[in-house]
Amino acid sequence: MDEVISVRVESLTKSFNRGSEKIEVLEELTLNVVSGEFLALMGPSGSGKTTLLNIIAGLDIPSSGSVTVGKNIISSMSETKLASWRTRHVGFVFQFYHLLPVLTAYENVELPLLLLPMTKAQRKIQVMNVLDLVGLTSRIKHLPGQLSGGQQQRVGIARAIVTDPDLIVADEPTGDLDSKSADEILELMTILQKTLGKTIIMVTHDPRAASKAQRILHLEKGKLVKDSRNFSYVSGNVAN
């Protein structure tokens, strides 16, 4: 079967100046991510993982090179266009959940939908669907402060997928969770990839989290040093 490229990164360079010193965060990085792939980005701190993730997600602008997600060359988009593009095409999962503390679980998940031309009824159906998927329909009226870390992260995931994006990016999604909650979140992400066919790019330091991915990229000093297939992922799923 032909593989469809979901994310295409070409000769990507990102640098910034600290005083008179020029710091190269990413150097001539080229990468393709296939549609429906679960990719883990690993590497030591300062290797450029999060910067790469931010650029792919349209949160940062490359110094040179291009990034294409789906059919959109996002590296040349304006900030306003990028904002609109992100709403429809990218879902974000953060390490520290970053839910708005004044809004309930339901309202946090509804937030991105408010930017789309949808009626209240349509929004409600979509929000309840994703909250059902993450198993939180009984917590819709709870504020983030009334939820556990694992539950907050599940709300975060529901918020990320509520607009039905093609691409989900996750920055250390299990970094702030205990192992049980981390397993639940990773399981959920696996379901998103396998059942809903989402492309997932996840930054992690945790080898156990990375083991859930199909493919693992290692970055060091802004360069891609290793691109490996996770065969245990495949065999594990076959066995399942």
Partner 1 sequence: MNKFEKYVLDILDDPVSLGAVVVGMIIILGMVIFASSYWFYFRLMFLNLRRNIIRTALTSVASIVLVFVVTLVWTILWFLNLVTSEKAKDFKAIVTERWQIPSQMPYAYEASLAEGSPANEGDYKIDKNKDAMTWQFYGATIDPEKKTRDNIIFFFCMEPMKMTKMMDGMEEYSATQIADLEKLCDEMVKDKRKIIVGKERLEAINKKIGERIKLTSLNFKGIDLEVEIIGSFPEGRYNQSAILNRDYLNDSMDAYNRQNPNSRHPMTNKSLNLVWIRVPDKEVFQKVENQITSSASFTTPAVKVETASSGISTFLDAYRDLLWGLRFILAPFILATMALIIAVAISISVRERRKEIAVMKVLGFTPAQVLFLVLGEAIMIGAFSGLFSSFGTTMFINNVVGGIKFPIAFFPVFLIPLDAIWWGPAIGIGTALAGSFLPSLSACRVKVSEVFARIS
Q: Does 172 bind partner 1 (CB under 8 A)?
A: yes
Q: Does 13 bind partner 1 (CB under 8 A)?
A: no
Q: Does 51 bind partner 1 (CB under 8 A)?
A: yes
Q: Does 193 bind partner 1 (CB under 8 A)?
A: no
Rounded to an integer, what distance in angstroms lies between the CA atom of residue 94 and that of residue 16? 24
Q: How far is the CB of 218 from partner 1 (least distance, A)?
A: 19
Strand partners, 117: none
Sheet arrangement for strand 38-42? 90-93, 167-171, 199-203, 38-42, 215-220, 223-229
Q: Does 64 bind partner 1 (CB under 8 A)?
A: no
**What residue type is 113 in one-letter code?**
L
Rounded to an integer, what distance in angstroms lies between the CA atom of residue 26 and that of residue 9? 12
* Between 55 and 189, CB nearer to partner 1: 55
Q: How far is the CB of 173 from partner 1 (least distance, A)?
A: 13
Range 145-164, binding partner 1 (CB under 8 A): 159
Q: Does 60 bind partner 1 (CB under 8 A)?
A: yes
Q: Helix, strand, coil proportions of the chain in percent (round to 5)? A: 40, 30, 30
* Between 172 and 184, CB nearer to partner 1: 172
139-175: string of b/e by CB count within 10 Å (b at 16+)?
bbebbbeebeebbbbbbbbbbbbbbebbbbbbbbbbb
Instruction: Candidates 32-40, 99-107, 177-185, 216-224: pick the segment binding partner 1 (CB under 8 A).
Output: 99-107
Question: Given candidates 9, 29, 43, 86, which one binds partner 1 under the rule CB under 8 A?
Answer: 86
3-state secondary structure of 28: strand
* Between 106 and 233, CB nearer to partner 1: 106
Rounded to an integer, what distance in angstroms lies between the CA atom of residue 166 and that of residue 169? 10
Binding site for partner 1 (CB under 8 A): 50-51, 54, 57, 59-60, 79-80, 83-84, 86-88, 92, 94-96, 98, 100-103, 107, 110-112, 114-115, 159, 171-172
